[in-house]
Structure 1
Amino acid sequence: MKVTAIIPDDLIAEAMELSKAETITETLKIALHTYIRSQKIKELGVMILSEPLEFKYTSQELRELNRK
């Protein structure tokens, strides 16, 4: 997709430096992937807090299963 956006030069320069990308396109792809990943992790955290994980086995039962 082709996009026209007005982004401050210093913001692009800093993003390029931190991402070690060689082009603006590569920099923006890295930034978007990173942002999406971080948002998914936040959503997962909220989901786990609202519905905690339940474990089927105790630690001792898991040890015994792993030794078989």
Structure 2
Amino acid sequence: MKVTAIIPDNLVQETIELSQASSVTEALKIALVSYIRSQKIKKLGSNILNEPLEFKYSAQELRDLNRK
């Protein structure tokens, strides 16, 4: 998809440097993927806080099962 966006030069330059990308397009792809991943992790964390994980076995029971 082609996109035209007005982004400050210093922001683009810093993104290129931090991502070690060879082009503006590559740097923006890396930045967007990173942003999407962080938002998914944040959402997952929120879901776990609202509905905590429940474990079926205790730590000792798992050790015992693994030793069989």
TM-score by length of 2: 0.98
Count residues with an aligned counterpart.
68
TM norm structure 1: 0.98
RMSD: 0.4
Residue identity over aligned pairs, in percent, reads: 72
User: Could you list the runs of 5+ residues in structure 1 that have no partner in the other structure?
Assistant: none
Gaps of 5+ in 2: none
Letter in 2 for 1:55: F
Q: Which runs of 4+ in 1 moved over 6 A?
A: none
Letter in 2 for 1:18: L
1:4 maps to which residue? 4
Q: How does 1:18-57 map to 2 (within 5 A)?
A: 18-57=18-57
Counterpart CA distance in 1 for 2:67 and 2:10 is 57
